[in-house]
Copies of this chain bind each other. A is one copy, B any other.
Amino acid sequence: MSSRLPAFSGLTAFYAAVRNGTLTGAARSLNVSQPAISRRIAQLEADLGCALFDRSHKPVQLTDSGRELATALRSGFDLIETATDRIRRAAKGRVVTVSGPSGFVAFWLIPRLGQLQEACPGTIIRIISMEHGEPGRIGDVTVRFGAQDPSAQQEIKILGEEVFPAASPLYLSRIQTPLTPDEFSNKALLTMEGSRRYWYDWPSWFDAIGRPMPPAAQFIDFNAYAMVINAALAGQGICLCWSGLLDTFLDSGALVRLTHLSAASDRGYFMSLRDGGAARPEAIAVLNWIAQSGATPAPTAAGRLGEQH
C-alpha cells in the first residue's frame, strides 16, 4: 500500500466526527477524549493540506473536501467492514462451544479433547467450565448434572450417577489396605464445600449404602470438584468418585476404588443442544461424538439428534 494513504487514526477520527456530528460525539463513540480527536483531525488536515471542517460554526461543518472524503471513507470502510464481518462469522461458524460442570470438563471432556478434535476436523472446540447454579445456557452444546427434566428439550444422558469412594496408592500406602467403609473412622474424607445436596456427599452416600456415617471422620473441604480430585491424587484423603467421570485415573491406577459398594441415583450428566433442531451441523457432530463416547451405553429415547430416516 502506498504511503500516500493518510494515517488511519486521523481517518477514523474524522469519520467518527462526521457520523456523530461533533468532535465531542466522535470522542465518545471512539472512547477517547475530545482533545485526542481534535489533534488527530488536525494532523489529517495538515497531511491533506486543507481543512475538512469549517470551524467558523459550532459544531463544525464539513467543507467540500471534507464531504468528498467522508463519502470515500463511507464506501471504503463499508467494503472492509463487510468483508471482515463475513470472515469473522465464517470463523465463528467453525467454533463449537461446549459448556459443562467443572468436574466433567476437567476429568471427562478435556482428556478426550484430542480424540474429539480428530473426529471433528475443521471445528474449533471451545470449552467453558461452569459451576453449579450459574444461570442459563452457555455454548452450543451444554452439559448439566442433575435429575432428568421431563419438560426439558431433548437431552442425552451421557453418564449416570454411580458413586464410590477412592483414594490414591500413595494414601493407601500410609494406611492399611483394603479399607472398607466401616474403617473410615478417623480417615480424611475429601468433600465439596457448600454442597447443596444436588449430588452425593459423604452423609448421603453412607445413607444410600445402608451404613452409618463413621464417627470421628475428618472432613477436608474444597470449593471445586477438581480441587477435591487433585487433593486425592496427591494422597491427602479419600474422595467420592463418579463412575465414568474419573475412568482415566482409575484405569491408570492413579486412584483406587476402595469398595464394590456404590450409591446410585437416576441423576446424571445430561447433554443438549442450545439451539435444538436449529443447531449448526458442527454442533450436532460434536454432541454426537460426546454421546457415543459416554460411558452410559443407552441414550434417552430420543436417540441421536440430527439423524434422519
Contacts and interface: CB of A to CB of B under 8 A. Distances in A.
Interface in A124-143: none
A80 B1 contact: no
Number of this chain's copies in the complex:
2
A230 to B, nearest CB: 30
A27 to B, nearest CB: 13
Interface residues of A, number: 40
Contacts of A69: 83-84, 87
A72 B80 contact: yes
A301 interface: no
A81 B49 contact: no
A79 interface: yes
Contacts of A8: 8-9, 12
A65 interface: yes
A48 to B, nearest CB: 5
B49 A68 contact: no
A80 B5 contact: yes
A72 B90 CA distance: 16
Contacts of A71: 83
